[in-house]
Homo-oligomer: A and B are copies of this chain.
Amino acid sequence: MAEHKVTFDTSPEPVFVPTGTLLVEAAKEAGVEVMQPCGGQGRCGRCAVQITEGTARRRSSLRLSEEDIAEGYALACQTVIEGDVSVVVPPQEKIQRRLTTDRTAAEVRVPDGYVPEQAQTIKRYNLTIEPPSMEDQTDDWSRLQRALRQETNLEGIKASLGLLRKIGAVLRESGWQVTAVLETHIWDCPECEARLIDLLPGNTAAEEPLWGAAVDIGTTTVSLWLVNLLTGEVAAQVAEYNGQIARGEDVISRIVYAGKGTGGQELSQLVIGTIDELLERACKRAQADQEKIVKMTITGNSTMIHLLLDIPAVSIRLDPFVTGINLIPSLMAGEIDIKIHPEASVDCLPGVASYVGADITAGVLSSGMDDTEKTTLFMDVGTNGEIVLGSREWLVTCAASAGPAFEGAGVKDGMRATKGAIEEVWVNAEDYEPSYRVIGNVKPQGLCGSALISLIAEMFLTGVLDKAGNVQVELDTPRTRQGEHGGEYVIAWADETAHGEDIVITHVDIDNLLRAKAAIYAGYTILADSVGVPLEMVEQVLIGGSFGKYINVEKAVQIGLLPDMPWENFHFLGNTSVQGSYLALIDYQRRERIRGIASRMTYIELSADNSFYDAFMSALFLPHTDMNRFPTVAKMMESVK
């Protein structure tokens, strides 16, 4: 049998191996360490290496994108050597980043073909104004309006009383040389005239940035991007836990809290406090002045938007689940006391229903699904699973009340994805021993959402769980045992953990997670049925949400949370809500497009749908009652066995 030369960049000498040798074996021979947390079953992707010269046969490329493969990436445990090859072993950090970090969101790009002057409604004008004289006693405001009309062709520009109070002094103190900042287009009021936001003494240098902020209010995390409206460039991205968390983890408990006494005002102030904190941080980073931020767009689920504005949200949680308002009029920052320019317009983007909010309409926009011919499934997996199915032609949406299980809530050792959280788990099929990765490389404290998904998938594939999700306590391993509420599996022993107690997943946890994923899968089914499009006809799956960003697709497929489709059909888009907020901030046509998206999305209320229960029950199994829906998983189960 022919021998082939295999060269590793991390080893001084090449090794020679026969045809058919796995790359991982060659590495071992060369003394090169390649991680294999899943035990070499091609499930974890952690053994990815880059073949820079020569070719090799990939038995499986799970977890690798087309782009990865084009760049020569291959899974060392699934790649068969059939000729001479040179291999680069990337540092684990790099692999992990490729696997877990959202590639789209990692680098924010100003959209292609974006022309700020055309897209932006915030405009800045340097004006030199003819001072009044006995021959021309025109009042200050009409004089300024006239100068602006000459510069902009806009008629009847408006100004608030606050501005009218200051323009006389600004005009005179500056010797009639001023800078006017205008909003030329009020987004929810196409018939409204342009509005003066500020009048500053002196002319302003062209390179001086004009600031805007795009905000996404998540139930858990508030994200803010500080943007130079003159270029569209993002100067700072910051995020912080929503200050409301202290008054309730989920939307329901916050709605309840808001309904009592001054709870509504308090929650509003809390999240405004978070926004102000983020503004301060972003401005410090970009050396910007908070008071000079002249526009803000805000997305968030319907409850978050109601609570921000202190609009009663109580009807959202009570049958028949209606919001107070889906399309908020354009506000001024001063009205809600956000500490940017008080005349800055604050546009809360429109929602569709109680559980399909502006985060989803903005997500649809930033995903581009409303402008594609491909039949697309868009989902935002957070506390709720909001799902949108459609294309350029049509859009249907629903919210699967998945509950917060995938955010770690309702799970014994669940936690949010912060330092100390196990974020991914692999189970060795031979001895049922787990390996895991912890955020921050510290002792683990608990399991975050992505860990729960990979854990259940691994337990199922390795036979620790049966189809119904029961822990097989009779297996020959100390990892499975009978707990207080049924079978459980130990991921980390007490002596490995931060708190000195075992980290386990219990029968109850698994039950909660299966219900959550079943609700979401049933959501797809109902949406697809409602338009008569079989799920198999879906051409791409776009996954948004900061949680979605960390999901391992094949794990999520293996548990039946995502439909079974080729890897390349899945795209992780990161926080699509803040991205949509950003696009709406920099481009009024995209703002209008979100309105269009909101108005043409057909909302399907699952709790009013008779077929939902059946679909839910069928999806309560791993990955599903009907294995024909999950051919890849069926095949993998075969290979594991």
Residues of A within 8 A of B (CB): 132-135, 137-143, 156, 158-159, 161, 164-165, 167-169, 172, 189, 191-193, 309-312, 314-315, 319-329, 331, 335-336, 353-354, 603, 605, 607-608
Given A140-B325, A161-B336, do A134 and B319 touch, yes or no (CB 8 Å)? yes
Given A191-B192, A315-B168, A331-B161, do A139 and B323 touch, yes or no (CB 8 Å)? yes
- Judge whether A322 and B191 touch: CB under 8 Å: no
Task: Offer 9 A-B interface pairs, CB within 8 angstroms, sorted by A.
Answer: A134-B320, A137-B320, A139-B324, A140-B315, A140-B323, A158-B189, A161-B311, A168-B311, A168-B315
- Judge whether B608 and A134 touch: CB under 8 Å: yes
Given A133-B320, A320-B134, do A165 and B309 touch, yes or no (CB 8 Å)? yes
How far is A165 from B320 in the complex, measured between Cα atoms in Å? 19
User: What number of copies of this chain does the assembly contain?
Assistant: 2
- Judge whether B140 and A322 touch: CB under 8 Å: yes
- Residue from B312, B319, B325 in contact with A142 in the complex, judged by beta carbons closer than 8 Å: B325
Give, as a whole number of angstroms, the nearest-CB distance from A136 to chain B: 8
Give, as a whole number of angstroms, the nearest-CB distance from A154 to chain B: 13
Give, as a whole number of angstroms, the nearest-CB distance from A449 to chain B: 29
Known A135-B608, A137-B321, A139-B323; further 12 A-B contacts with Cβ < 8 A: A134-B319, A137-B353, A137-B354, A141-B325, A158-B189, A161-B309, A164-B311, A164-B328, A165-B311, A168-B311, A191-B191, A191-B193
How far is A326 from B139 in the complex, measured between Cα atoms in Å? 6
Give, as a whole number of angstroms, the nearest-CB distance from A523 to chain B: 17
Chain B hits for A143, CB < 8 A: 322
- Judge whether A168 and B324 touch: CB under 8 Å: yes
Chain B hits for A324, CB < 8 A: 139-141, 164, 167-168
Which residue of chain B is the closest to A329 with respect to CB atoms?
B158
Chain B hits for A158, CB < 8 A: 189, 329
- Residue from B309, B312, B320, B354 in contact with A169 in the complex, judged by beta carbons closer than 8 Å: B312
How far is A142 from B156 in the complex, measured between Cα atoms in Å? 29
- Judge whether B168 and A137 touch: CB under 8 Å: no
Give, as a whole number of angstroms, the nearest-CB distance from A382 to chain B: 21
Chain B hits for A135, CB < 8 A: 608
User: Which 5 A-B residue pairings sit nearest by Cβ, starting from the closest?
Assistant: A141-B325, A134-B608, A139-B323, A132-B322, A168-B324
- Judge whether B320 and A142 touch: CB under 8 Å: no
How far is A192 from B132 in the complex, measured between Cα atoms in Å? 31
How far is A272 from B140 in the complex, measured between Cα atoms in Å? 24
How far is A310 from B137 in the complex, measured between Cα atoms in Å? 21
How far is A161 from B333 in the complex, measured between Cα atoms in Å? 12
Give, as a whole number of angstroms, the nearest-CB distance from A48 to chain B: 47
Which residue of chain B is the closest to A608 with respect to CB atoms?
B134
- Judge whether A322 and B139 touch: CB under 8 Å: yes
Which residue of chain B is the closest to A143 with respect to CB atoms?
B322
How far is A314 from B169 in the complex, measured between Cα atoms in Å? 9
- Judge whether A159 and B329 touch: CB under 8 Å: yes
Chain B hits for A608, CB < 8 A: 134-135
